[in-house]
Structure 1
Amino acid sequence: MSYLASNERYSTMKYNRVGKSGLVLPAISLGLWHNFGGTDTYENGRAMVRYAFDHGITHFDLANNYGPPPGSAEENFGQMLKQDLHPYRDELIISSKAGYRMWPGPYGEWGSRKYLIASLDQSLTRMGLDYVDIFYSHRFDPNTPLEETMQALDHIVRSGKALYVGISSYNAEQTKQASAILKQLGTPCLIHQPSYSMLNRWIENGLQDVLDEEGMGSIAFCPLQQGLLTNKYLVGVPEGSRASRSENLKNQAISDKTLDQVRRLNDVAAARGQSLAQMSLSWVLRGGRVTSALIGASKVSQIEENLQILGQADFSSEELASIDAILKD
C-alpha cells in the first residue's frame, strides 16, 4: 500500500524563521547521521522518516559521508523519497554537506571548489534529486582560501543545485568572514550548523552574536551530546551504548564528574515533568536564538518522545540558574 502523509502533519509542529531569510524550519529536525546507513535496518529508518514527516518534521539533514558505508544514508533516503515522499518534495527541506573525507586522493575532502561541486553532484545522484534545499561546507578548510570555498557555494546556488547554502562548525571569526564574502557575491549564507548542548556551550562565546549580526539562522547538532543527555547513562555507561564503542565519547565525555552532572540535570528535568532528553532539547531552543534542534534517532519512539517538547521550551530563571550551577561545577 502506498504511503499517504497524515492530514494532521502541520497541526502541532512549531516553525521558526531562519535568520532574516524567508525560510522557516521545524523546531525539531531529523538527522540521518546514524541508523540510516547500509549496515542498518532499512525499514526501521523508513518508519522513522515517515513518522517524522507525519508529525511536521519537514527537514531531513544528510551529508555525503553518512552511513556506514559513506554515501549509503543518502542512497537509502533516496529510496525513501522514491517510495514514499516523492509526492511531497515541495514540502521538504533536504540538506547535504561536504567537507570530510569521502573518496581517496587529494580531491576527496576539505573545501576546494573541485571537491564541493563533485561531492554535491554525487549526493544528488544518490538521492535521485535535481537539487537540495540547503548545501553546507561541512568544516572550515585551513588550506583553501575561504574565497574559493564560498565562491563554490555561490556557484552551486546559481547553477540550481541548491536553493540555499550554509556552513558547519566554523568559529565566530570564520563565520563573519564567510558571511561577508557570500553577501558580496549575492548569495547570503542562510544558516550555521554547530554542535551545541548543555555540556557543549562553545557557540555562546561569540558565534551566536555573529549569527544575530549577520542575519543567519542556526541548527544545533548533537543537542543530546550523542545520547549522553538521555536516561541511558544515569547509572553509568551501558554495554553496547555509543559511548562504550566511541573513542571520542569514552576519552572525552564520560567521566565520573560528567555522569554526576547528568544525574543532577535529570533531577531538574524530573521537576519540570520532562525526561532529561526532552529538557536538553528545550534548553537548546530556549530564548529563540537557535532555529532548530537536530535530533538523531534509532527508533520511532525516540522521535515521539522528542516531539513532546513542543510548547515546553520556556524555563524559569530559577531553573536556568540551577542548570548553570550544575554545569559550572
Structure 2
Amino acid sequence: MITHEVNPRYLASSERYEKMPYQRCGKSGLRLPRLSLGLWQNFGAVDSLANARAMVHRAFDLGITHFDLANNYGPNYGSAESTFGQIMAEGFDHYRDEMIISSKAGYDMWPGPYGIGGSRKYLVASCDQSLKRCGVEYFDIFYSHCFDPETPLEETMMALDYIVRSGRALYAGISSYSPEQTREAAAILKDLGTPLLIHQPRYNMMDRWIEDGLTDVLDDEGVGAIVFSPLNQGILTNKYLGGIPENSRASRGEQIYLNESDLSDEVIAKVNALNNIAEQRGQTLAQLAIAWVLNNKTVTSAIIGASRVEQINDSVAALNNLDFTDKELTAIDTILK
C-alpha cells in the first residue's frame, strides 16, 4: 500500500502572547509585534520548505504575528509568497485572524511595461496575483514598494486607496519614500479617506538616513515605521568579527547588497568595538543592533530575516534588554562617527 507523508496540523504555543511586546502603529488602532518576520530571503523555490515552515511556526510561537512579503521575493519571483501560501494551506491558516500579512509591489515583477512601477494597472494586478499565491482573501497591509518618478503620486495613492476600498487589503503602506514624498503621499491618502498606516524604510546603526527628516514626518502625520535590514545585511552580527570568512556569501559577492568592499578593515574594527558593547550588555551583536533600532521612538517594529530557527530565537532574545544608558548610546555614536 502506498502511503503519503501528511504534515500534522500545527498547534501554536499557548504562551505565544506572554512575552512579545506589541506597539501601536502610528495613530492607528493596529498594534504590531516589536519584531516581524521578513520572507525576503530563504523562503524561495530554491530553499527548503521544511525549514521555511519551521521558521514561520517558531516565529508565531514566540509572538511574531506579522509576516512581511513582496511580489518579487524568492528566488524565483513570487516563490516566497507561494511558499507562505503552502505553509498556510498545510495547517497554519486557522490562525489567519491572529496574523498580520503584508505584501508589496513596485519593483520589476514580469516583462513588459505593466510589470513594474507605481501605476494603478500594475499595483492592482500584482496585488491580485499575490493574494492567489499566498492563498488569502486579503492582505492586512499592502505597500507601494518604492516611489515611481514616472507615475503621478496621485495615481499610486489612488491605487492603494482602491486596493483598500475593494477589500484586497485593510491598510495602505509605502516603502523607501523620501521625507517629502512621504508627506505628500500621506496628504493624498488622507484626502481620499484611507490614512497612510505605515512606512517601511531601511534603518540600522550604520544607515541612519531616516533620522534626517523622515521620522519627523512620520511623527507629524501619525504614521508608524517598520524598519528592514536592522543587521545591515549581516554586518552587525558575529559573522565578520574576525574578517570575511572563506566561502561566505560576501567573499563570493553573492549576498544581495553586500560585497567584500563593504567589509573594509575600518568597518570590521567598528563591528568589533560594537561587539564589545554588546558583550558588556550581555547580548550578542545582533541583539544589540535590534535593540538599538527599537530604541527609536518612531519605530513600531523591526523586520528580522532568518535562515534557521536558532536565528529567530536569538533575535527575539534581544527584547530582554531594550534599554540603553546615555553612556552606551554615546559610545555607539562615537564608534560609528
Q: Give the TM-score normalised by the residue count of structure 1.
A: 0.98
Q: What whole-Å deviation, never above 9, does each CA across 1:69-98 have from its counterpart, x for those lacking one? A: 000000010010111211100000000000
Tell me the distance in 2 between the aligned counterparts of 1:48 and 1:286. 26
Aligned residues: CA RMSD: 1.0
SS in 1 for 2:150: coil
1:94-173 to 2 correspondence within 5 Å?
A: 94-173=101-180
Say whether residues 1:296 and 2:305 are aligned partners: yes
Q: Deviation of residue 246 (structure 1)?
A: 3.1
Match of 1:29 in 2: 36
SS in 2 for 1:139: coil
The structure-2 alpha-carbon separation of the partners of 1:288 and 1:247, relative to structure 1 and needing over 3 Å to count, comes to: closer
Q: How many residues are treated as equivalent by the alignment?
A: 328
Q: Specify the code of the residue in structure 2 equivalent to 1:64.
A: N
SS in 1 for 2:318: coil
Sequence identity percentage = 63
* Gapped regions of structure 2 (runs ≥ 5): 1-7
Match of 1:44 in 2: 51
Q: What whole-Å deviation, never above 9, does each CA across 1:173-193 have from its counterpart, x for those lacking one? A: 000000000000000000000
Tell me the distance in 2 between the aligned counterparts of 1:219 and 1:111. 21
1:34-113 to 2 correspondence within 5 Å?
A: 34-113=41-120
Tell me the distance in 1 between the aligned counterparts of 2:78 and 2:261. 28
The structure-2 alpha-carbon separation of the partners of 1:242 and 1:213, relative to structure 1 and needing over 3 Å to count, comes to: farther
Q: Specify the code of the residue in structure 2 equivalent to 1:313.
A: L
Q: Deviation of residue 143 (structure 1)?
A: 0.5
Q: What whole-Å deviation, never above 9, does each CA across 1:248-283 have from its counterpart, x for those lacking one? A: 321662222111111111111111110000000000
Match of 2:5 in 1: none
SS in 1 for 2:327: helix
Of residues 234, 242, 249, the one that matches 1:242 is 249
Say whether residues 1:200 and 2:198 are aligned partners: no
The structure-2 alpha-carbon separation of the partners of 1:242 and 1:222, relative to structure 1 and needing over 3 Å to count, comes to: farther
Whether contact under 8 Å (1:282, 1:309) holds in the other structure is yes
Tell me the distance in 1 between the aligned counterparts of 2:247 and 2:78. 25
SS in 2 for 1:38: coil
Q: Deviation of residue 287 (structure 1)?
A: 4.1
Tell me the distance in 2 between the aligned counterparts of 1:260 and 1:105. 46
Q: Could you list the runs of 4 or more consecutive aligned residues of structure 1 that deviate by over 2 angstroms after TM superposition?
A: 239-244
Tell me the distance in 1 between the aligned counterparts of 2:61 and 2:157. 35
Tell me the distance in 1 between the aligned counterparts of 2:140 and 2:215. 23
Of residues 265, 279, 293, the one that matches 1:284 is 293
Q: 19-28 or 309-318, which moves further after superposition?
A: 309-318
Whether contact under 8 Å (2:107, 2:116) holds in the other structure is yes
Say whether residues 1:310 and 2:316 are aligned partners: no
Q: What whole-Å deviation, never above 9, does each CA across 1:272-319 have from its counterpart, x for those lacking one? A: 110000000000001432000100000000000111111411100000
Q: Specify the code of the residue in structure 1 equivalent to 2:130.
A: S
Tell me the distance in 2 between the aligned counterparts of 1:215 and 1:274. 32
Q: 234-243 or 295-304, which moves further after superposition?
A: 234-243
Whether contact under 8 Å (1:227, 1:242) holds in the other structure is no
Whether contact under 8 Å (1:47, 1:300) holds in the other structure is yes
Q: Deviation of residue 241 (structure 1)?
A: 3.0
Of residues 216, 227, 240, the one that matches 1:209 is 216
Q: Deviation of residue 165 (structure 1)?
A: 0.8
Q: Give the TM-score normalised by the residue count of structure 2.
A: 0.96
